[in-house]
Amino acid sequence: MLIAGDVDGTKTNLAIFPADNEPATPVDRMILIEPSILSADLLRLGEQAKAAEDAKADGLQIDVMDGQFAPNITFGPDLVRALRNVVKLKLDVHLMINEPERMLIPFADAGADRIIIHEESCTHFYRVLQSIKALKIEAGVAVNPGTPLEAIQEVLDLVDLVQVMTVSPGFGGQRFITSQLDKVKRLQQTLTEHHVKIPIAVDGGIHLDTAQLAVAAGATVLVAGSSIFNNTGSVAQNMTALRASITK
Ligand code: DX5
């Protein structure tokens, strides 16, 4: 598979040209990068969020964990409200909590543009997704590495995004689970077969060597934490490097 594209500093346009033995389906896609603030310097969150915005990030993912669904406790609606006052970026709230329906209104009121819930976290997730949509914001569904795609098949026409977890929820800096690339490919095929045009996000372990693999599999939203927020480069330098890695 050959990947060619151009980076105009804000968006990455990609054309995918098949290798000789693959069917000819040149595709033109916008690849979005959403930094995950879980890996940011927590004592400088506003500054780091602003740096991501200045570096033309396409959104910010805010990982919310309750210490039950995921083995960590992170952020609440107050942080979303505070970030809303600092950046205009899309605020993407990733709820890794049990019974997410309890927290939809507080996060929507705080300024979330999208709320992503996990299929594994609630009994009536169709109703919860409808509740998010009723708040006039986008709804996304995420699946853990061990969850089959069949579990979300019935909601593909309801959601605005599907997020394939490429690590198990809980922490930044984990290793990318390569087996999830095949899941991304199968999801891409299922969406095409059902004529559903929604973005596929991947979350976890997205770095200079894994981003291109995820894009080639069909992902169009890259959620990245430790490859953006780290001590080896500025947010701007890291964003540029990650963008360049998917067009090299
Ligand atoms: C993990 C979170 C991810 C994580 C990504 O539970 O959902 O968003 O912060 O961090 P990296 O990119 O470092 O794996």
Known catalytic residue: 20? Answer: no
So where are the chain's domains? 2-245
- Global pTM value: 0.89
What CATH architecture is 2-245?
A: Alpha-Beta Barrel (3.20)
Determine if ligand 1 sits within 6 Å of the CB of residue 204. Answer: yes
**How many CB atoms within 10 Å of residue 33?**
24
> How many whole angstroms from 176 Cα to the centroid of ligand 1?
10
Determine if ligand 1 sits within 6 Å of the CB of residue 167. Answer: yes
Residue whose tokens read 């004592």: 43
pLDDT in tens, the chain (248 residues): 444 444 444 444 444 444 444 444 444 568 999 999 999 999 999 999 999 999 999 999 999 999 999 999 999 999 999 999 999 999 999 999 999 999 999 999 999 999 999 999 999 999 999 999 999 999 999 999 999 999 999 999 999 999 999 999 999 999 999 999 999 999 999 999 999 999 999 999 999 999 999 999 999 999 999 999 999 999 999 999 999 999 65
Distance between CA atoms of residues 34 and 191, nearest Å:
22
What was the pLDDT predicted at 243? 96
What are the CA-CA distances from residue 67 to residues 13, 73, 84, 111, 121 (Å)? 38, 5, 25, 23, 13
Close Cβ partners of 247 (under 8 Å, ≥ 6 residues apart):
3, 4, 5, 6, 7, 12, 14
Select which of 63, 66, 109, 209 is catalytic.
Answer: 63
